[in-house]
Amino acid sequence: MEFNAVNAVLNSHWDGRLPVRPDLIAHRMGIEVLPIVSDGNNSNQCGYAEITDSGRRVIAYNTLDPHSRIRFTLAHELGHHVLDHTKQGRKLREYSNQDWNDGNYIEERDANRFAAELLMPEDAIKTLINKEKIYSIPHLASRFDVSEEAMYWRMKNLGYL
């Protein structure tokens, strides 16, 4: 499956600088970015995407999560909007325990793939490897501001490992 949606978003809303900023891309797309205010019952909620009853598109993130997790959550929730998973009045919540997620498996898988491809664009990876001769997972993860695990899987999925 080609993921032209990611390329369309990057081409229209990314300034080309690393790391990719999913929060800025969301703002440029007219999507509101909100922190989740912990009330004790939602501390394991990573984020959500929704179209409110008034038609506002929103993505939210848990401020208690680590920085790299917040970035991935924002990109993931943005993916739900771009991939048309959100419907007015339906809130797609993502939890640290995946069994509690509101989206179905295919929606969640596609949103994860969208997030990985948005945060770690293939062309940017190629440039760092071929022109700047950066090969190490930790160094690449640092440049893209993602976890080493996320960078490892992206490199593996692109066939570099």
Q: For residue range 77-90, what is the model confidence (pLDDT) as tens digits?
A: 999 999 998 876 66
Report how far apart the first and last C-alpha atoms of the chain are (Å, whole number). Answer: 21
Report pLDDT for 161: 87
Residues 6+ apart with CB under 8 A from 55: 88
pLDDT band at 147 (very low <50, low <70, confident <90, very high): very high
- 95 within 8 A of 46, measured Cβ to Cβ: yes
pTM of the entire predicted model: 0.88
Digit-coded pLDDT (tens) for 81-136: 999 988 766 666 555 545 545 557 788 889 999 999 999 999 999 999 999 898 89
From residue 111, give the alpha-carbon distance in Å to each of 11, 74, 135, 140, 143: 18, 10, 27, 22, 22
Q: Return the CA Rg of the chain.
A: 16
